[in-house]
């Protein structure tokens, strides 16, 4: 349809007024989840294993591939048409071809030696910034002692990590695992530079017994930034599994619960999500006793029951003591540690030793 220049501008304004990004995301069949005050889905524009694609009141942003735009950009990218055609589609109400935006299947693969080297270098660089003001303030607010954070290998992604990766020739490997991301324009062409998605985040690594980092997650250093956690595009481990010795493990859900549980002296391992695959369950078989300290909400308790069934006799479900929603919360609560330890003993006795 031919329109004069100002006609396009008016139409665009009208379309932006008529359609919210949430509307458009729903019409395109994105599986949306509420994340705080915004919505998130798996990104329709890159292979995405987790909800990296955020829907804001005025547009979209993907923390995975860096795609960014408004509803017109979205329709243009999803339908693979120009913005004028996208405007016409929106104005005419001809929306929603879900097949056009089905995300490709996520890939699950083991990292290469180079990729592991990139993770290690990034982690080592981040560790040096743990005592910077921002991470220190965050840890203090969460009740995590600095020496515990140091012992667990926590760090902070400050400017300079990319430079270090570049100097060591690890940029390609870093891009492959999501430590760095290429900038992409909404039209999809690649620009020469990359960006650092983990910048400004507290880094929590998964360490081997030998003290090498093979995976990491980035926690937002405040309680406002979404997503709260940013992960690498590598399979999630059982966080902390290698550094637990002895016959008992305390299973928690999130990375911060894990840090809190370790701060309380527990042999903590984090599942990093409610769903725990068969392979991971097998790797928990070496423990005689596995305490399940999952979130107090219904989803957490359901996950604990499912996992307990899979783990059999060794599983002990521990209800989170009243007044707290998870283990991280208990670290801040008055007498929280004592209450949790007593709840664990009570659950153990109930189970019969």
Residues that bind Zn ion (CB under 5 A): 43, 45-46, 62, 64-65, 67
CB-wise, 38 or 347, nearer to Zn ion?
Answer: 38
Q: DSSP letters of 206-267?
A: EE-TTS-EEEEEEEESSSSSSSSEEE-SS----BTGGG--SSEEEEESSHHHHHHHHHTT--
Q: How far is the CB of 73 from Zn ion (least distance, A)?
A: 13
CB-wise, 201 or 314, nearer to Zn ion?
Answer: 201
Q: How far is the CB of 224 from Zn ion (least distance, A)?
A: 22
CB-wise, 80 or 283, nearer to Zn ion?
Answer: 80
CB-wise, 73 or 326, nearer to Zn ion?
Answer: 73
- Tokens describing residue 92: 């005419």
CB-wise, 45 or 287, nearer to Zn ion?
Answer: 45
Q: How far is the CB of 187 from Zn ion (least distance, A)?
A: 14
Q: Please, what is the Cα angle at 159 between 153 and 160, to 5 degrees?
A: 80
Q: Quick count: other Cβ atoms within 10 Å of Cβ 296?
A: 17
Secondary structure letter of residue 6 according to DSSP: H
Q: Which of 65, 54, 45 is nearest to 183 (CA)?
A: 65
Query: How distant, in Å, are the alpha carbons of 18, 51, 59, 66 from that of 194?
Result: 34, 21, 22, 10
Q: How far is the CB of 255 from Zn ion (least distance, A)?
A: 22
Residue 269 has φ and ψ, to the nearest 5°, of -135, 135
Q: How far is the CB of 188 from Zn ion (least distance, A)?
A: 11
CB-wise, 230 or 250, nearer to Zn ion?
Answer: 230
CB-based contact 240:258 (threshold 8 Å)? yes
Q: How far is the CB of 111 from Zn ion (least distance, A)?
A: 20
């Amino acid at each position: 349809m031919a329109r004069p220049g100002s006609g396009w501008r008016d139409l665009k304004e009208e379309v932006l007024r008529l359609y919210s990004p949430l509307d458009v995301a729903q019409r395109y069949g994105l599986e949306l989840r509420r994340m705080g005050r915004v919505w998130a889905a798996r990104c329709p524009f890159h292979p995405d294993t987790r909800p990296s694609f955020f829907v804001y009141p005025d547009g979209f942003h993907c923390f995975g591939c860096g795609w960014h735009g408004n509803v017109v950009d979205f329709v243009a990218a999803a339908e693979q048409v120009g913005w004028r055609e996208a405007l016409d589609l929106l104005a005419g109400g001809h929306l929603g071809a879900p097949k056009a935006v089905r995300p490709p299947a996520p890939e699950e693969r083991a990292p290469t030696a180079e990729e592991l080297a990139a993770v290690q270098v990034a982690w080592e660089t981040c560790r040096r910034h743990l005592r910077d003001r921002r991470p220190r303030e965050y840890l203090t607010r969460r009740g995590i002692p600095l020496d515990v954070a140091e012992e667990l290998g926590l760090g902070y992604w400050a400017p300079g990590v990319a430079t270090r990766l570049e100097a060591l020739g690890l940029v390609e490997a870093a891009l492959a695992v999501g430590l760095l991301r290429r900038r992409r324009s909404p039209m999809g062409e690649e620009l020469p530079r990359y960006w650092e998605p983990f910048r400004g985040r507290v880094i929590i690594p998964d360490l081997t017994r030998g003290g090498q980092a093979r995976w990491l997650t980035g926690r937002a250093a405040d309680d406002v930034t979404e997503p709260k956690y940013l992960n690498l595009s590598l399979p999630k481990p059982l966080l902390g599994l290698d550094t637990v010795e002895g016959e008992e493990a305390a299973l928690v859900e999130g990375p911060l619960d894990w840090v809190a549980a370790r701060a309380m002296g527990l042999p903590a391992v984090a599942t990093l999500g409610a769903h725990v695959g068969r392979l991971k369950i097998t790797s928990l078989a070496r423990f005689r006793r596995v305490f399940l300290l999952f979130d107090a909400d219904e989803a957490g308790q359901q996950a604990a029951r499912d996992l307990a069934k899979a783990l059999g006799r060794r599983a002990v479900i521990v209800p989170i003591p009243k007044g707290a929603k998870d283990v991280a919360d208990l670290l801040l609560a008055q007498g929280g540690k004592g209450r949790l330890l007593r709840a664990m003993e009570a659950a153990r006795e109930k189970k019969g030793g």
